[in-house]
Protein backbone atom coordinates (compact mmCIF):
# COMPACT_ATOMS: atom_id res chain seq x y z
CA UNK A 1 0.00 0.00 0.00
CA UNK A 2 1.27 3.45 -0.88
CA UNK A 3 1.96 6.39 1.42
CA UNK A 4 -0.81 7.98 3.44
CA UNK A 5 -2.40 10.78 1.43
CA UNK A 6 -5.12 12.02 3.78
CA UNK A 7 -5.76 12.31 7.50
CA UNK A 8 -9.38 12.33 8.66
CA UNK A 9 -9.49 13.68 12.21
CA UNK A 10 -12.53 13.32 14.42
CA UNK A 11 -12.67 15.69 17.38
CA UNK A 12 -14.03 14.52 20.70
CA UNK A 13 -13.11 13.57 24.23
CA UNK A 14 -11.76 10.07 24.97
CA UNK A 15 -13.39 7.41 27.11
CA UNK A 16 -16.88 5.93 27.59
CA UNK A 17 -18.08 8.83 29.74
CA UNK A 18 -18.05 11.13 26.72
CA UNK A 19 -18.79 8.65 23.91
CA UNK A 20 -22.38 9.75 23.24
CA UNK A 21 -21.85 13.49 23.90
CA UNK A 22 -22.77 16.05 21.26
CA UNK A 23 -19.15 17.24 21.46
CA UNK A 24 -18.08 13.80 20.16
CA UNK A 25 -19.95 13.85 16.88
CA UNK A 26 -16.57 14.16 15.11
CA UNK A 27 -15.52 10.78 16.55
CA UNK A 28 -18.85 9.33 15.42
CA UNK A 29 -18.36 10.58 11.86
CA UNK A 30 -14.90 9.06 11.34
CA UNK A 31 -16.08 5.83 12.99
CA UNK A 32 -18.91 5.56 10.48
CA UNK A 33 -16.64 6.32 7.50
CA UNK A 34 -14.11 3.69 8.61
CA UNK A 35 -16.83 1.07 9.06
CA UNK A 36 -18.62 1.79 5.79
CA UNK A 37 -15.45 1.71 3.71
CA UNK A 38 -13.82 -1.34 5.29
CA UNK A 39 -10.88 0.34 6.98
CA UNK A 40 -8.67 -1.94 9.03
CA UNK A 41 -9.32 -2.54 12.71
CA UNK A 42 -8.79 0.48 14.96
CA UNK A 43 -5.31 0.23 16.42
CA UNK A 44 -5.68 2.36 19.51
CA UNK A 45 -6.79 5.64 17.93
CA UNK A 46 -6.18 5.12 14.20
CA UNK A 47 -7.65 3.04 11.39
CA UNK A 48 -6.03 2.60 7.98
CA UNK A 49 -8.05 2.38 4.76
CA UNK A 50 -8.61 3.71 1.27
CA UNK A 51 -11.02 6.10 -0.40
CA UNK A 52 -10.93 6.07 -4.22
CA UNK A 53 -7.61 4.18 -4.12
CA UNK A 54 -5.97 6.84 -1.96
CA UNK A 55 -4.64 5.76 1.40
CA UNK A 56 -6.39 7.40 4.33
CA UNK A 57 -5.88 7.32 8.08
CA UNK A 58 -8.90 7.94 10.34
CA UNK A 59 -7.74 9.37 13.66
CA UNK A 60 -9.41 10.02 17.02
CA UNK A 61 -6.96 11.79 19.37
CA UNK A 62 -6.81 10.39 22.89
CA UNK A 63 -5.90 13.79 24.21
CA UNK A 64 -8.85 15.76 25.48
CA UNK A 65 -10.46 18.21 23.10
CA UNK A 66 -8.37 21.21 24.16
CA UNK A 67 -5.13 19.31 23.38
CA UNK A 68 -6.21 17.85 20.02
CA UNK A 69 -3.71 19.90 18.06
CA UNK A 70 -0.73 18.42 19.83
CA UNK A 71 -1.75 14.87 18.88
CA UNK A 72 -2.57 15.80 15.28
CA UNK A 73 0.72 17.68 14.85
CA UNK A 74 2.69 14.65 16.03
CA UNK A 75 0.92 12.28 13.65
CA UNK A 76 1.25 14.68 10.71
CA UNK A 77 4.97 14.92 11.30
CA UNK A 78 5.31 11.13 11.41
CA UNK A 79 3.23 10.70 8.24
CA UNK A 80 4.96 13.65 6.51
CA UNK A 81 1.56 15.15 5.68
CA UNK A 82 0.83 18.73 4.76
CA UNK A 83 -1.98 20.67 6.46
CA UNK A 84 -3.83 20.79 3.13
CA UNK A 85 -4.43 17.04 3.42
CA UNK A 86 -5.96 17.14 6.89
CA UNK A 87 -9.76 17.06 7.17
CA UNK A 88 -11.28 17.69 10.61
CA UNK A 89 -14.82 16.69 11.66
CA UNK A 90 -16.22 18.68 14.56
CA UNK A 91 -19.42 19.78 16.27
CA UNK A 92 -20.74 23.25 15.48
CA UNK A 93 -23.13 25.22 17.68
CA UNK A 94 -23.90 27.73 14.95
CA UNK A 95 -25.46 25.16 12.63
CA UNK A 96 -28.90 23.66 13.12
CA UNK A 97 -28.94 20.01 14.20
CA UNK A 98 -28.16 17.72 11.28
CA UNK A 99 -26.79 20.44 9.01
CA UNK A 100 -23.31 20.12 7.49
CA UNK A 101 -20.98 22.70 6.02
CA UNK A 102 -17.37 22.51 4.87
CA UNK A 103 -14.68 25.14 4.62
CA UNK A 104 -10.92 25.57 4.65
CA UNK A 105 -9.35 27.85 7.21
CA UNK A 106 -11.18 30.55 9.10
CA UNK A 107 -11.74 31.24 12.77
CA UNK A 108 -12.28 28.71 15.51
CA UNK A 109 -15.63 30.08 16.75
CA UNK A 110 -14.58 29.47 20.34
CA UNK A 111 -14.23 25.72 19.75
CA UNK A 112 -11.45 24.40 21.98
CA UNK A 113 -10.45 21.63 19.60
CA UNK A 114 -10.10 24.00 16.66
CA UNK A 115 -8.25 26.52 18.82
CA UNK A 116 -5.70 23.82 19.70
CA UNK A 117 -5.35 22.74 16.07
CA UNK A 118 -4.83 26.34 14.94
CA UNK A 119 -2.07 26.76 17.52
CA UNK A 120 -0.24 23.58 16.53
CA UNK A 121 -0.73 23.15 12.77
CA UNK A 122 -2.10 26.53 11.62
CA UNK A 123 -5.62 27.25 10.39
CA UNK A 124 -5.40 26.01 6.80
CA UNK A 125 -6.90 22.54 7.26
CA UNK A 126 -10.32 21.58 5.95
CA UNK A 127 -13.22 21.51 8.39
CA UNK A 128 -16.42 19.51 8.21
CA UNK A 129 -18.82 21.38 10.49
CA UNK A 130 -21.53 19.18 11.98
CA UNK A 131 -24.49 21.08 13.39
CA UNK A 132 -25.64 20.28 16.91
CA UNK A 133 -27.69 23.44 17.46
CA UNK A 134 -27.34 26.07 20.18
CA UNK A 135 -29.11 25.83 23.56
CA UNK A 136 -30.10 29.49 23.26
CA UNK A 137 -28.08 30.81 26.20
CA UNK A 138 -24.29 31.01 26.30
CA UNK A 139 -24.34 29.91 29.93
CA UNK A 140 -25.89 26.60 28.83
CA UNK A 141 -23.36 25.83 26.09
CA UNK A 142 -20.97 23.72 28.17
CA UNK A 143 -23.75 21.53 29.47
CA UNK A 144 -25.20 21.23 25.98
CA UNK A 145 -22.04 20.02 24.26
CA UNK A 146 -21.05 17.69 27.12
CA UNK A 147 -24.43 15.99 27.39
CA UNK A 148 -25.52 13.00 25.35
CA UNK A 149 -27.69 13.21 22.26
CA UNK A 150 -31.32 12.76 23.27
CA UNK A 151 -33.51 9.92 22.04
CA UNK A 152 -35.40 12.44 19.90
CA UNK A 153 -32.15 13.32 18.08
CA UNK A 154 -31.19 9.80 17.04
CA UNK A 155 -33.11 9.98 13.76
CA UNK A 156 -31.32 12.97 12.28
CA UNK A 157 -27.99 11.91 13.81
CA UNK A 158 -28.05 8.45 12.22
CA UNK A 159 -29.17 9.92 8.91
CA UNK A 160 -26.35 12.47 8.95
CA UNK A 161 -23.69 9.89 9.84
CA UNK A 162 -24.87 7.50 7.14
CA UNK A 163 -24.91 10.29 4.56
CA UNK A 164 -21.38 11.35 5.53
CA UNK A 165 -20.18 7.77 5.13
CA UNK A 166 -21.85 7.38 1.75
CA UNK A 167 -20.38 10.62 0.40
CA UNK A 168 -16.92 10.09 1.99
CA UNK A 169 -15.07 9.13 -1.23
CA UNK A 170 -15.63 12.70 -2.42
CA UNK A 171 -13.54 13.98 0.51
CA UNK A 172 -10.47 13.18 -1.59
CA UNK A 173 -11.85 14.79 -4.75
CA UNK A 174 -9.94 17.76 -6.21
CA UNK A 175 -13.23 19.64 -5.93
CA UNK A 176 -13.40 20.59 -2.26
CA UNK A 177 -17.12 21.34 -2.57
CA UNK A 178 -18.04 17.93 -4.00
CA UNK A 179 -18.45 16.20 -0.63
CA UNK A 180 -20.75 18.83 0.87
CA UNK A 181 -22.78 19.00 -2.34
CA UNK A 182 -23.29 15.24 -2.31
CA UNK A 183 -24.33 15.31 1.35
CA UNK A 184 -26.87 18.02 0.54
CA UNK A 185 -28.32 15.94 -2.31
CA UNK A 186 -28.44 12.72 -0.29
CA UNK A 187 -29.97 14.48 2.70
CA UNK A 188 -32.63 16.39 0.77
CA UNK A 189 -36.22 15.15 1.03
CA UNK A 190 -37.64 13.66 -2.11
CA UNK A 191 -39.46 16.09 -4.36
CA UNK A 192 -43.23 15.61 -4.69
CA UNK A 193 -42.72 14.21 -8.17
CA UNK A 194 -40.51 11.40 -6.87
CA UNK A 195 -42.35 10.56 -3.66
CA UNK A 196 -44.54 7.45 -3.67
CA UNK A 197 -48.18 8.20 -4.29
CA UNK A 198 -50.34 8.29 -1.18
CA UNK A 199 -53.39 7.16 -3.19
CA UNK A 200 -54.48 3.55 -2.68
CA UNK A 201 -53.88 1.10 -5.49
CA UNK A 202 -56.95 0.55 -7.64
CA UNK A 203 -56.91 -3.16 -6.74
CA UNK A 204 -57.13 -2.35 -3.05
CA UNK A 205 -59.37 0.73 -3.07
Q: What is the set of active-site residues?
A: 23
Instruction: Characterize the bridge pairing of strands 6-10 and 126-131.
Output: unpaired
Contacts of 23 (CB under 8 A, 6+ apart): 11, 12, 13, 65, 91, 145, 146
Order of strands across the sheet that contains 46-51: 46-51, 54-59, 6-10, 86-92, 126-131, 100-104
If we measure between CA atoms, which residue out of 81, 89, 97 comes closest to residue 149?
Answer: 97
Strands 126-131 and 86-92: parallel
Contact 114, 23 (CB under 8 A): no
Amino acid sequence: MGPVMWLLVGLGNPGPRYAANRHNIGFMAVDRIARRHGFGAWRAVAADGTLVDERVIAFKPTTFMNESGRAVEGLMRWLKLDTANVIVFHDDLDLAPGKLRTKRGGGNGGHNGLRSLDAHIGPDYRRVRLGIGHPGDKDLVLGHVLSDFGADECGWLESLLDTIAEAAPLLVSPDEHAFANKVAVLGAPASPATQPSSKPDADHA
